[in-house]
Amino acid sequence: MLNRLNSCLLLFLSLASTASAAELRIGIIGLDTSHVVAFTQLLNDPKQKDHVAGGKVVAAFKGGSPDIESSASRVEGYTKQLQEQFGVKIVDSIPELCKQVDAVLLESVDGRPHLEQARPVFEAGKPIFIDKPVAGSLRDAIAIYRLAKEKNVPVFSASSYRFYDSLLEVKKVNVGQIRSCISYGPSHLEPHHPDFFWYGVHPTEALFTIMGQGCESVVRSTTRDTDVVTGTWTGGRLGTLIGLQTGPTPHKVIVFGDKGVAEQKGSGNYTPLVREIVKFFQTGVAPVPTGETIELFAFMEAADESKRQGGKPVKIADVLRQNGGPF
């Protein structure tokens, strides 16, 4: 009887140790976006209705960009909240952060420093999720993925829109062969980034969630308040992005197939994205193909180039070649 109890105790301790080891120590780079609080709450607070198990934010590096007001003005507030509410340790450098964690969330709201902030993470061999935009330029985005490949470090980037339950429900509808898709949503501008990189990346990501890879050319029409970008995909499929710069900025995807039409109903939250991030950290397998992420950023860069050329069509292949690609 005693031997049996000892065996059960040893089994329990073994399982407990395994469960503890399975909880990843997560670090954050960049405390200048509301995402850091929202993600940490989902991960660190088991009382949360949508709690995501498997990882805990334990350390962070402040970061911040002095020339972007919405970054510089928020760093200290979010830092204090992470320290006081969740007990997150603040460190002085990214290499120091990497020593204390198993995986990294690169959350800096400014895409421009992402390449340099990601370098020490790749050197440390830590899997990394890079929040939108993956970089401040297409050239840097390509460089990030190329460096990750060279260092053999798992990386992925995505907008939360991609994993909204409402969008995934649209994907399930059998509309037959997709002929075209319209995605509209917010596209507020930020002068240090290409037009769509700052906020238009959200409806662009939703468009690519439906259309996938294969965009060949892009043409853009623009006014003071609205942008319309039409991409031509292989097989003559059309994907249209409507970027709303001012006023109400709802978002929706409408899919047109040869058998029917599907329309997104409702919005979503961060929970599905955070689940995907934890799964990615655990497996090292990105839920979004590298080629698709690079192509959607090439789509946005091509839209800017079309605007510069007065609305002329721009080939995705040309934009990729001009910016250090194809990958």
Domain harbouring 70, CATH code: 3.40.50.720
Residues 184 and 57 in one domain: no
Tell me: do 70 and 195 sit in the same domain.
no
Residue where a domain terminates, one of 139, 159, 179: 159
Residues 225 and 244 in one domain: yes
pLDDT given for residue 304 in this prediction: 97
Query: In angstroms, rounded to a whole number, what is the distance separating the alpha carbons of residues 2 and 4?
Result: 5
- Residue 124 in domain: yes
Per-residue model confidence (pLDDT) at position 22: 72
Taking alpha carbons only, the member of 259, 237, 90 closest to residue 174 is 259
DSSP assignment of 155-221, as one string?
A: EE---GGGG-HHHHHHHHS--SSEEEEEEEEE----TTS-TTTTTTHHHHHHHHHHH-S-EEEEEEE
- pLDDT-flagged residues of the chain (< 70): 1-21, 327
Say if 281 falls within a structural domain.
Answer: no
Residues 213-234: pLDDT tens digits? 999 999 999 999 999 999 999 9
Which residues, listed in sequence order, are joined to residue 56 by a DSSP beta bridge?
A: 25
- Are residues 116 and 198 both part of a single domain? no
CATH of the domain at 252: 3.30.360.10
Residue 274, in any domain of the structure: no
Please give the model's pTM, rounded to 2 decimal places: 0.91
**150 in the same domain as 45:** yes
**CA distance linking residue 12 with residue 90, whole number of Å:** 34
Place of tokens 């939703």: 206
The domain boundary, picked from 138, 159, 180, lies at: 159
Q: Hey, what amino acid is at 84?
A: E
Do residues 155 and 167 both lie within one domain?
A: no
Together in a domain, 128 and 8: yes
Tell me which amino acid residue 248 is.
P
Whether residues 132 and 98 fall in one domain: yes
Say yes or no: 8 and 41 in one domain. Answer: yes
Query: What spatial distance separates the first Cα and last Cα of the chain, rounded to whole Å?
Result: 63
Q: Is the dihedral of CA 222, 227, 230, 231 positive or negative?
A: positive
Q: Check whether residue 188 and residue 248 sit in a common domain.
A: yes
Q: Is residue 62 part of a domain?
A: yes
pLDDT of residue 94: 98
In a domain, 279, yes or no: no
Report yes or no on 327 lying in a domain. no
> How many domains, the chain?
2
For 123, the domain range is: 2-159
pLDDT in tens, 229-257: 999 999 999 999 999 999 899 999 999 99
